[in-house]
Amino acid sequence: MSAETACQIMGGTLANPALAGRRWRGVSVDTRTLRRGNAFFCLRGETTDGHRFAPTAAEEGAGAIVAERKAMNRWRPWPLPVIGVDDPLTALGDLAAAYRRGFPTRFVAVTGSVGKTTTKELIATVLSSKYPVFKSPGNYNNLIGIPLALLGRSRRAGGSSDLGVLEFGMSTPGEIARLTEIVSPSWGVVTRIGAAHLMQMKSLAAVARAKRELFDHAQADLVAFLNIDDPYQRRWMAHWDRRTVTYGVVRGGDYSADEITPTSHGVRFRVNGRHRFELPLAGEYNVPNALAAIAVGRHLGIGFAAMVEPLRRVRAAAHRSRIVRLGGVTLIEDCYNANPTSMLAALQSLAGWPGRGRRIAVLGAMRELGEAARQWHRQVGRAAASLDLVVTVGKDAQEYQRGVKTGRAAWTEVRDRSAAITALRRELRVGDVILLKASHTEAFEQIAQALRVHLKGHRTTIAARDRLAKA
């Protein structure tokens, strides 16, 4: 793309007009991952300002610099295009929207409070059985990640994708509306709405309103896939005439599940009274996520039978509902993020896990819950009290036990991840099932990795210790 074309799309001003014909390849917002020829966008964040890194980007071979207008003139002499815009983040989105229109791909947008990434992966897996599919990588789900995902596509390699699946995240009102404007999806999927981002959003009703922006700002022909188990989404349907497909565990939806049976490898269930499926993901709470994927697949012409094997072989997204079995111990790695809704669902699933071993929950703090954080932690703690052992990690996680008055669980408080790893290594027995759950800021993936290494290297030791304990 040339600097002149980019200026037209972004409403920008070129500080050095002689370079209007200069072209660049790709975009970057981080000098640590910038590739030679990328346009570097100077974004402002809570703790840093991208304008500080513009000289580094230029030195490392950036193809252009996109900055706020008030900053562009200081870099006018540089031998690369410098474009001034009102807001680099808005400009990044405008550029992505224009680039997206150059592809024939139609998009499925997935939002909600819990299970977004897993549902995105399940939908992409189902659709890939029939269509070429593009999906956003990892957790590229916000006003920076979605544009980067779209702009990172190669016209040669990505242009053949018939369908795309993108995850829409948000932390403040208006973000999903803006993502909808950028992507212009054809289908919208909402997972369960729950207590997340309450520090910014203040109430569950506000969270629901923010999620509904996907439909309030979409084209009239966008098809909605709604979770009928969710009271907010049921109310939406009562007040619109948008074409809607429903899914959920309760009866009455277009796609419902019963005979839900947890197994040591995941969960089995039946759809619409006759079609049997199996997921290699931990927890009954993943059944609605699979139903959403099945609903989208059926809507786009994929038969039930054709979806059975793709779902049976789906791989868990990083640190989400992943089941690892080593040394006679089962790890449930669900530690990418946590809010009260997802935490309660995970604990319920752990309590019902098949087998005779102990149920152990390793819990870190839930973040961004605002003034109600203490009450939410105590509510989760009461749910955890029915387990065998609960390990809380960090000072903020101690609040889980404060509201517990009864229950069978033994409680252990440790100060940090290192202490948790030490305690768990000493405690593990054959047959144990261990849930790791916390907000992403708590970095529980480090505990998961340490336990995997320990279990892989000490299978015989753990089994022998267990036999001695029983003797």
Q: Does domain 3-86 have CATH number 2.60.40.1180?
A: no
Asked whether 137 and 149 are in contact (CB, 8 A), the reply is yes
pLDDT bracket for residue 50 (50, 70, 90): very high
Helices 175-183 and 88-100: crossing angle in degrees, nearest 10, is: 30
Task: Compute the mean pLDDT over every residue in the chain, rounded to the nearest whole number.
Answer: 91
Q: Which residue has the tokens 């509902």?
A: 321
DSSP of 171-230, one letter per residue?
Answer: SSTTHHHHHHHHH--SEEEE----S-SHHHH-SHHHHHHHHHHHHHTS-TTPEEEEETT-
User: Which of 42 and 238 is assigned the larger pLDDT?
Assistant: 42
Alpha-carbon distance 208 to 192, whole Å? 10
Look-up of token digits 């193809």: 63
pLDDT band at 289 (very low <50, low <70, confident <90, very high): very high
Pairing of strands 433-437, 359-363: parallel
First to last CA, the chain: 73
Supply the DSSP symbol for 49.
Answer: B
On the question of pLDDT at 442 being above 90, the answer is yes
Q: What pLDDT, on the 0 to 100 scale, is given for residue 471?
A: 46
Are 358 and 433 in contact by the 8 Å Cβ rule? The answer is yes
Q: 311 falls in which pLDDT band (50, 70, 90)?
A: very high
Contact at 8 Å (CB) between 38 and 62? yes
Question: How many Cβ atoms from other residues are within 10 Å of residue 256's Cβ?
Answer: 21
pLDDT at 425 over 50: yes
Q: CA-to-CA distance for 342 and 320, rounded, in angstroms?
A: 11
- Kindly list the domain boundaries of the chain, sorted by start residue: 3-86, 102-312, 322-470
Q: Torsions phi, psi of 387, nearest 5? A: -85, -175
Q: Can you read off the two tokens belonging to residue 246?
A: 């429903």
**Percentage above 70 pLDDT, the chain:** 94
Q: Where are the alpha helices (DSSP H) in 1-78?
A: 3-10, 54-59, 69-72
Please give the biggest Cα pair distance in the chain: 84
Predicted confidence (pLDDT) per residue in 78-99, tens digit: 999 999 999 999 999 999 999 9
Residue 32: partners with Cβ closer than 8 Å, 6 or more residues away = none
Superfamily of domain 322-470: Mur ligase, C-terminal domain (3.90.190.20)
User: What confidence score (pLDDT) does residue 468 get?
Assistant: 44
Task: Quote the CA–CA distance of 148 and 337 in Å, as a whole number.
Answer: 22
Distances (CA, A) of 407 to 63, 386, 390, 411: 62, 5, 11, 10
Q: Residue 414 contacts by C-beta under 8 Å, 6 or more apart in sequence?
A: 391, 392, 393, 420, 423
pLDDT band at 327 (very low <50, low <70, confident <90, very high): confident
Summarize pLDDT for 115-124 with one digit per residue, the tens: 999 999 999 9
Q: Mean of the pLDDT values across residues 384-408?
A: 92
- What fold does the segment set 102-312 form as a domain? UDP-N-acetylmuramoyl-L-alanine:D-glutamate ligase (3.40.1190)
Distances from the Cα of 12 to the Cα of 31, 66, 81, 85, 443, angstroms: 22, 9, 12, 5, 40
- Report the DSSP pairing between strands 106-111 and 187-190: parallel
What 8-state DSSP symbol labels residue 62?
A: -
For the cut 70, the answer to whether the pLDDT of residue 43 exceeds it is yes
pLDDT in tens, 160-176: 578 999 999 988 899 99
Query: Confidence class of residue 251 from pLDDT cuts 50, 70 and 90?
Result: confident
pLDDT band at 156 (very low <50, low <70, confident <90, very high): low
